[in-house]
Each structure stands twice: as C-alpha cells, then as structure tokens.
Structure 1
Amino acid sequence: MVRGKTELKRIENTTSRQVTFSKRRAGLLKKAYELAILCDAEVAVIVFSQKGKLAEYSSKNNILETIERYRSYTKANGNSNPAKQDLKSMQNLKEETTTLGKRIEFLEATKRKLLGENLEGCSKDELNELESKIEKSLRNIRLAKSRNLADQIEKLKETNHLLTKENEELRVKLHSQYNNVVPENNDNEDANPAHNRVDVVTDLSIALPGPCLTFV
C-alpha cells in the first residue's frame, strides 16, 4: 500500500503531535549517528521540544567542542551563516517569481487588448496607443509579406532562367545530332528493280536439243 504524502503543517492534536515528535526525534538522532559512523563526519544535533526538553547527539564526547568549531568556522568566514544565506536566496527567488508573475499577467492583458478584448476600461489615450501599436504591427507585417513575395518571385525567375538555358542546350544538341546523320539515297533503286540485278558469268550455253546417243 502506498503511503500518502504528509502535509507539512503544525499538527493540531496534542497527542498526535507528541507522538510524531518522539518518532521523528529518534529517527533524526539515529540518522545523525549513522552519518557520523558511515562517513566519519563530525555531527552534532540539538533539539528542544515544545516543553523545553533537550535532546542532543554529538559524535564527539563533548558537544561543546563541535559548537566551538562551528563558531570558529563562521568567524573565519566572515560570520557567514549558510542557513541565512539559503533563506535570503529563497526570498530573492520568491520575489523574482512574483515579479515574473506580474509581468506575465501584464503581457496577457496587453495581448487581449491587442486582440480587441477587454477594452471597456481603457481610456482614450490607451485606445490611441493601442491603435498606433496595431498600425505599426500591420506595417511590419505588410513589409515582411512584400519581402517574402519578392523572394519567391526571384526564385521563380532563377528557376525559369535555368529551365530556359537547359531547353536551349537540348535544342542545340538535337540540331547537332540531326545534321550529323546523312540519309542514303535509295529512291532510284527502289523505283527500277533492274538496278538491283547482279550479272553472273558462267560457262553454260543454251542450244536446241539434238539426237540422243546410245553407247553399247
């Protein structure tokens, strides 16, 4: 079964709050002990309950040694407090987030006004300013459109020039091939078959038949 995420806020029930404190305090001290043993770290934990009861853990024999080391460290580093620095960073981040949120809301409102929405509360000067912005935007759009059309026309001209050049080259090539072919003149031979006759000379002669000779 998946446990639900506990909401981080003060527990109103006194008994539940005390039980939760005891469990989490024990877990915190156990984690501090494990961190000190596993990583050979110097760890000190100080916890005061709501009633002022102290619970502490130190990897040293005396927790005051760790506290003194902490004071020396912060003094050497210009009394810097990491916790305070983190808190300041969070505050700056929160302020920046709030500023960005307001900026987004302003841009969304301006966008709706440019689209002709929510103009009821606008003054005359605001409407004139919106009109000027829209006219400027239209000029920029028309200019961009004209440039786009000019680029397309230029590309079409280049394509037409290339096609015309290729067509001319093909025409010249075909004309050259046609001139290099010399057709044979066989019209007279086809009209008079006698020209196609081949005379063959042999030793045979043609004569009248004579009497038959009988050899005994």
Structure 2
Amino acid sequence: MGRRKVPLSRIENLSTRQVTFAKRRKGLFKKTHELSVLCDAQIGLIIFSSTGKLFQYCTEPSSMEHIIRMYQNASGTQNPANNDQLEAIHGELRMMQKETLNLQSSLQRFTGEDLSSIKFEDLDELEKQLECSLNKVRARKFELLQQQMDDLQMKKKMLQDENDQIYLLIKENEAAWDQHQQVAIVPNTEEHRGVLEQFPFSGEEQPSSVLQLATMPSVFNPYHLLPAQPNLQDLSLQQPQLW
C-alpha cells in the first residue's frame, strides 16, 4: 500500500493545534537555519500565532530591520515620505544632543569646573554674566530680608498694643480694688468720734481715726484701778492692840 495524501485543514481541537504549532515551528526554524548556513543566504522569518504572539528568526549577524529594508529596496515598496520623516527625526535628535552638550558646558563654566579651553573674551563675558546673576540674587535676598523685617515690626506693634491694653486693665482693676478696700476698712468719722474722745491723749498731735489709734505707740501709763475695799492687813496694823 502507498502513502495516502492527508488533506490539509484547520485542526479543530485547540490543544492539538497548539502542540502541532509548537512542533512545526521548531522544525521550520531548524530548516531555515540549515538553509542559511549551507547556502549563505540571508533569511528573515516572522511568525504570528493564533493568539497574536510573535516568533521570528533572522540570519546572523544581520537584523530584522536590515532584511526588511533590503526587501523594500528590492521590491520597490519603500515609502520616500517615511525616509524623509526619519531623516528629520535624526536631524532633530542630533540638534537636541548638540544643545544638551552646550548646556552642560555652560553649566560647567558657571560652576568654574572647565575653564582651560575658554578664551579671554569668553571669560570676560562669563564674568559679566556672573556679576549680573549675583546682583539679582542679592536684590532678591534683600527683598526677602525686608519682608521679614516688616513682618517683625508689625508683630512687635501688635504685641505692644496688647501689652498696653493689659497694663490699662490691670491699673483699672487695682484702682477699683483700692477704692473697695478704703470703703470697707476706713470707718466713718462721725460714728467713731465718740470712741476717740473716750481716750485722753497728751501731746501735740491727736489721732484722727481709729487706725491711727491702733498704730500709735503706748505713750501713756495704763490706768490703775483703786481698790473698792480697804486692805484688811493695813487696818489691822492701824488698830491698837488690846492685850
């Protein structure tokens, strides 16, 4: 019996289809590598699975981009607009790199790191720029200091006003308290005049209030009470003895 030709069709079983894809892909890559080595051919192979995953093979040392560019040149499918856009992008990239190098060199000059290759005229211009920048920095510094001084002066004035208000309030409270103490402690002169008249005082100055009476030193002799009854012992001495 001869080999029967199997008709090609999509494998319906998902697992079987994935296994078949993996086996055939490896075999295809192997055959492509053998063809590239044996025949010295440049081959680029791109495979997308049913899930969208990319598999590729490229002959070394070439790259897939180089092979695609060769294919576009050989087939005439290369778009000139894309080449112009690519050249414009490369030109802009080169310009940005140049500007970056210039900025780095300028920064090094301002910091004083790389000054060996600068001419005298460039050094003079650099000195003027640094002086101008220094003046701007100082002006900004003085402006901030003035703002801080103004804020401190305003705060000082507010604190002084609060201190004055508190001082006036304390004085008012002290005056009210002193008036209350005078009303509560100092007695009425009419009511206590009789008390002062009961005590005879000798001297030039007479007390005018009970408070002065209490604070005056004792300059007069205390009263001596006379006995209401005569002393019996003295009487016995005065009577004659009968015996």
- TM-score, scaled relative to structure 2: 0.44
- The structure having more radius of gyration, on CA atoms, is 2
What is the TM-score with the length of structure 1 in the denominator? Answer: 0.48
